[in-house]
Amino acid sequence: MKRKAIFARLCVLAAAFAFISACATSPKPAPIAPAPAAPAASPAPAAQMVPAKVEIPAPDEIRAQAAALRKKAFDLNLKDALPDDFTAAETAYSAGTAAYGVDNAASAASFGDAKAKFDDIIHRGLPMLVSAEKDRASHLRDTAMQKKAGDLFPDLLAFADADFAKPVAAESSGDYETALSGYRASTLEFEVLYKLCDASSARAFLVSHDLAKWDPSNWTLAEGRYSSSQSLYRQDAHASVDSVNEAILRYGVVRNTAFGYYAADRKKSSETERDHADSIKSSIAVKDEYAAALALYTKAEDDESAKDFEASSTEYDDAAAAFAKAYTHAKARMDAAKVELDSLDSALSTVEAAQGR
C-alpha cells in the first residue's frame, strides 16, 4: 500500500515535468509586422494674406460741431454779410452729408472743412455785424432826436442812452456776441422812442382838431396802447414796439374816419359854390377858370372814392374856392356887360329922342 502511494506521486511529478518541458521548448510566435504608414500629406500651399478691412465710424461728433456752427452763422445773417464764403462752407457741408455712411473718412474730412469755414465766417463776420448794428442804433437815435424825443420823453431817452453805452465795453474787449446783442437791444429801444414821438404827434393833431369824437372806439384803444408802450419800455422793448405800432395805426384810423365825415361836409360846400357859379353861366363867361375848378372837384371825388379823405377834403375846399372865384369873375363880366348895355340903351334913347324932334 505504501509502495502504491509513492508510485502515484512519482507519476504526477513526471507528468508535471513533461508539461513544463514542452512549454519551455515550444517556438515563439512570429511578430506581427506593423501596417505600412500612410504617405504623409503634402503641405497645403500657404493661403494668400488679405488685410482685414478697417471700419471707420461715422463722424457724428464733427458733423454735430459743423452743424452747430452752420446754424449760428445762418442765425447771425452772415450769409448776406459774406455770401461767397458762406457758399463755400455750405458746399463743404453738403459734401460731408453726401458721403456720410458711404465714405466716412471723406465725410469726416468734409465736415472738418465745413466746421473750419463756418468758424472763420463767424470770427470775421461778427465784428462787421457789430459795427453795422452800432451805426443803425446811432442813426435811429438821431431820428428820435429830430422828432423831439428829448422834449417829449426825456426819461425814456436817458434810459435808452444808458443802455446804448453798455455794449461799448464788450466790443472793446472783443466780446462781439455780447456787443451785438446790446446794440440790437438799443436799436429796438430807439425805434420805439421815435415811434412814440410819431404817436404823440398824431395824437396832438387829433386833439387840436377835435377829431376823436368821430371814432371814440378806436380813440380809446389808441390811447391805451400809447400809454402801455411807455410803461413797457424799460421792461420789454418788443412788447413796447408792438403797442406803439398799434397806437399809431388806431390814431390813423381815427383821423381817416374823421376826415371821411369832414370830406363829405366839404363836398357839400364845394357843390354849393359850383351851383352858384352855374347860376350865372360861369362855364361860359369864364370858361378856363370854371374848368380848373371842375378838375379840382373831380380829383377830390376820385380821392374820396380811394378813401384818401384828407386829400379829398383839401381838394373839395380848393374846388369850392375856385368855383367861388369863377362866380366872382363871371359876375364882374356880367355886370360890366350890363353897364355897357345900359349905356348903349341910354345912348340909343338919346339918339331916338333927338331924331324924334
SS3 228: helix
Q: Which of 58, 88, 53 is nearest to 73 (CA)?
A: 88
Note whether residue 26 is domain-resident.
Answer: no
Q: Is 237 within 8 Å of 184 (Cβ atoms)? A: no
175 and 279 both lie in a single domain: no
89 and 165: one domain? yes
273 and 199, same structural domain? no
Q: Is 344 or 321 the better-scoring residue by pLDDT?
A: 321
**Alpha-carbon gap, residue 97 to 68, rounded angstroms:** 14
Give pLDDT tens digits for 164-222: 999 999 999 999 999 999 999 999 999 999 999 999 999 999 999 999 999 999 999 99
Does residue 104 form part of some domain? yes
* 116, part of any domain: yes
Take residue 355 and report the three cell numbers written for it.
Answer: 331924331
* 267/168 same-domain check: no
How far apart, in whole angstroms, are the C-alpha atoms of residue 48 and residue 80?
58
Average pLDDT over residues 93-106: 95
pLDDT at residue 347 tops 50: yes
What one-letter code names the amino acid at 3? R
Q: Tell me whether residue 102 is exposed, middle or buried, using C-beta atoms within 10 angstroms of its C-beta: 0 to 12, 13 to 18, 19 or more.
A: exposed
Phi, psi (rounded to 5 degrees) for 121: -60, -45
Which phi-psi region, left, alpha or beta, contains residue 148 (left: φ > 0; alpha: ψ -120 to 50)? Answer: left
Q: Is the dihedral of CA 223, 227, 232, 233 positive or negative?
A: positive
User: Is residue 178 a part of any domain in this protein?
Assistant: yes
Q: Note whether 180 and 300 are same-domain residues.
A: no
Q: Are 324 and 274 in contact (CB under 8 A)?
A: no
The Cα-based distances of 4 to 7, 104, 254 in angstroms read 5, 114, 170
Q: Give how many domains the chain has, as a whole number.
A: 2
Please check the confidence at residue 338 and state whether its pLDDT lies above 90: no
Confidence of residue 343 (pLDDT cuts 50, 70, 90): confident
Query: Is residue 308 within 8 Å of residue 356, measured between CB atoms?
Result: no
pTM attached to this predicted model: 0.65
The predicted-structure confidence for 16-38, as pLDDT tens digits, reads as follows 444 434 444 444 444 544 545 55
Q: Please indicate, yes or no, whether residues 275 and 196 belong to a single structural domain of this protein.
A: no
Q: Do 203 and 315 belong to one domain?
A: no
Q: Judge whether 270 and 324 are in contact, CB under 8 Å.
A: no
Q: Considering the domain boundaries, does residue 223 fall inside one?
A: no
* Position 80 in a domain: yes
Per residue in 273-315, pLDDT tens?
899 889 888 889 888 999 999 999 999 999 889 988 889 989 9
Q: What is the C-alpha to C-alpha distance for residues 152 and 175, in angstroms, rounded to an integer?
A: 35
| Number of residues assigned to the chain | 357
Q: How far apart are CA 81 and CA 152, in angstroms?
A: 37
Residue 215 is classified by DSSP as -
Domain range holding 307? 262-346
How does DSSP assign 55-96, residue by residue? PPPP-HHHHHHHHHHHHHHHHTTHHHHSHHHHHHHHHHHHHH
pLDDT of residue 320: 93
- Asked whether residue 2 carries a pLDDT value surpassing 50, the answer given is no
Residue 6: which pLDDT band, with cuts at 50, 70 and 90?
A: very low
pLDDT of 148 above 80: yes
Instruction: Please give the Cα distance from 70 to 93 (Å, whole number).
Output: 9
pLDDT for residue 333: 87
Assess whether 114 and 197 both reside in one domain: yes
The answer to whether residue 204 is domain-embedded is yes
pLDDT higher than 80, residue 46: no
Which cell numbers in the block locate residue 189?
Answer: 429801444
- C-beta neighbour count of 61 within 10 angstroms: 11
Mean pLDDT of 65-92: 95
Do 117 and 85 meet the contact criterion of CB atoms below 8 Å apart?
Answer: yes
Cα–Cα distances in angstroms (integers) from residue 39 to residues 25, 42, 43, 305, 351, in the given order: 41, 9, 12, 118, 175
Tens-place pLDDT, residues 227-265:
999 999 999 999 999 999 999 999 999 999 998 888 888
Q: Let me know if residue 279 belongs to a domain.
A: yes
Domain boundary (208, 233, 254) is at 208
Rg (CA), the chain: 57
